[in-house]
Amino acid sequence: MAKHETPLLDQLESGPWPSFVSDLKRQAEKKPECWDILGILELSYKDRITHWKHGGIVGVFGYGGGIVGRYADVPKLFPGVEHFHTIRVAQPSSKYYSTANLRQLMDLWEKHGSGMTNFHGSTGDIILLGTRTENLEPFFWDLTHDMGQDLGGSGSNLRTPANCVGQSRCEWSCYDTEEVCYHLTMHYQDEIHRPAFPYKFKFKFSGCPNDCVAAIARSDVSVIGTWRDNIRIDQAAVKEYVAGNYPPNGGAHSGRDWGKFDLQKEVIDLCPTECMWMEGDELKIDDKECTRCMHCINVMPRALRPGADQGASVCVGAKAPILDGAQFSTLIVPFMKVSKDNEFEELIEFIEGIWDWWMEVGKNRERVGETMQRVGLPTFLQVMGIDPIPQHVKEPRSNPYVFWKEEEVEGGFERDIVEFRAKHAA
């Protein structure tokens, strides 16, 4: 039986899509606080302003992240949502769940919270919506002790790292994304659970340039698998595709008749750098021109494979559009070996180089991509000790002046400003 009149929300149920309002009403039969969620939302629609207070004192002892405080500013009207905190739970690598784990997690959330969830938040965590402050510690105890799971990141912390399925299921993965994600999660426990930075910081790991976790758009450090030798070609399989014996795209678009596969039209003509051609019945690729768009490999997976000398490109600075609009990460290191043999030493050194600099020069609530934009890429490269390469150049220069530094000029130069000013007034 509905506790509040919700005519505005009820209208949302009339559309053709599944409605969160219907879901909440169903859940409210078991968890009465969900009636108050509907009530407070209806009031917000009516008043055209939120009735949530943002933030406050929440957390579990010793953790500065993982729980996002939500308090209603109308607690007398809606006591069920006086406290309605959000808990972020770290997702397993690649989001592999067992049904037993999911059942246990849902039972735990029915016991300590509203039962409402969001699988998953945009960073990748499991989001559990709605609990009271006094339930936080018991929930945390059960989560960590009975289930062996942990809270994720929130606030100005390292956020829960995320990765694609990697080598567990994907033949294109150029490094073990699950291994590196797990290793760095364990290595940076302090940074995940306690605030460390001017603002949030995210890593994401994609095994190949298809970038299935959208690392390049969503993470401050995007580690994207690549190769530095040649795409491996099986010419016999190319012939099978041309003959129509193998379905293109692994049969992914087989629900409709697209006509006979046309290698020229569907692969060669679509290559963004025009680095492919046929010589007789052999497919040729000028690999030094390849930009790793993955289109040819995606269309003909049985004929083409990433090269054998594999590693990752590391890009820095993606963010969502709070200030200055959304931006992709910028390529900083074109190729890095990502290997467990040295415990990902090179990647860790790179990440900590960024942190040491950003923690010092980054402004409060400024993402590392914004700091890079503010100081300019040349300064960032200099700080990181990386020599500029053509791939770093975004556009031809628009500033006609070149300001050389002494160390950049052969033989250097000496300039005594006091002596200069003795003859030339400022």
Partner 1 sequence: MALSTEELKKAIEEKALKSPKPQLYIKDFYACDPDSKPRVIKNIANEMVREGKLMFWSSGSTTMYAVPSRIKNEESSEGIGNE
Q: Which residues bind partner 1 (CB under 8 A)?
A: 53-59, 62-65, 67-78, 83, 133, 154-157, 190, 194-200, 355-356, 359-360, 362-365
Smallest distance from partner 1 to CB 62, Å: 6
Between 81 and 300, name the residue whose CB sits nearer to partner 1.
81
Between 129 and 312, name the residue whose CB sits nearer to partner 1.
129
Angle between helices 368-375 and 345-361 (to 10 degrees): 70
Q: What is the DSSP string of 90-159?
A: PPPGGG---HHHHHHHHHHHHHHS-SEEEE--TTS-EEEE---HHHHHHHHHIIIIIS---B---SSSBP
Smallest distance from partner 1 to CB 198, Å: 6
Q: How is residue 297 written in tokens? A: 């490999």
Between 190 and 229, name the residue whose CB sits nearer to partner 1.
190
Between 67 and 268, name the residue whose CB sits nearer to partner 1.
67
Are 176 and 340 in contact by the 8 Å Cβ rule? The answer is: yes
Between 8 and 74, name the residue whose CB sits nearer to partner 1.
74
Using a 10 angstrom Cβ sphere, with 0-12 exposed, 13-18 middle and 19 or more buried, the burial of residue 231 is buried
Integer CA distances (angstroms), 97 to 104, 149, 233, in order: 11, 12, 36
Smallest distance from partner 1 to CB 64, Å: 4
Between 172 and 355, name the residue whose CB sits nearer to partner 1.
355
Smallest distance from partner 1 to CB 87, Å: 12
Residue 359: alpha-carbon gap to chain centroid: 21
Between 61 and 401, name the residue whose CB sits nearer to partner 1.
61
Integer CA distances (angstroms), 209 to 14, 233, 310, 319, in order: 42, 18, 12, 19
Smallest distance from partner 1 to CB 206, Å: 25
Smallest distance from partner 1 to CB 412, Å: 30
Smallest distance from partner 1 to CB 56, Å: 4
Q: Reduced to 3 states, what is the DSSP secondary structure of residue 79?
A: helix
Q: 114-150: buried (b, 16+ CB within 10 Å) or exposed (e) per residue? A: bbbbeebbebbbbbbbbbbbebbeebbebbeeeeebb
Between 106 and 359, name the residue whose CB sits nearer to partner 1.
359
Smallest distance from partner 1 to CB 41, Å: 15
Smallest distance from partner 1 to CB 148, Å: 23
Pick from 33, 166, 157, 171: nearest CA to 92: 166
Using a 10 angstrom Cβ sphere, with 0-12 exposed, 13-18 middle and 19 or more buried, the burial of residue 348 is middle
Between 364 and 399, name the residue whose CB sits nearer to partner 1.
364
Using a 10 angstrom Cβ sphere, with 0-12 exposed, 13-18 middle and 19 or more buried, the burial of residue 214 is middle
Strands 232-233 and 276-279, bridge-based pairing: unpaired
Q: How many residues does the chain have?
A: 426
Between 179 and 366, name the residue whose CB sits nearer to partner 1.
366
Integer CA distances (angstroms), 198 to 329, 347, 350, 361, 368, in order: 18, 21, 18, 9, 9
Q: Determine how many CB atoms are found less than 10 A away from the CB of residue 350.
A: 20
Smallest distance from partner 1 to CB 330, Å: 23
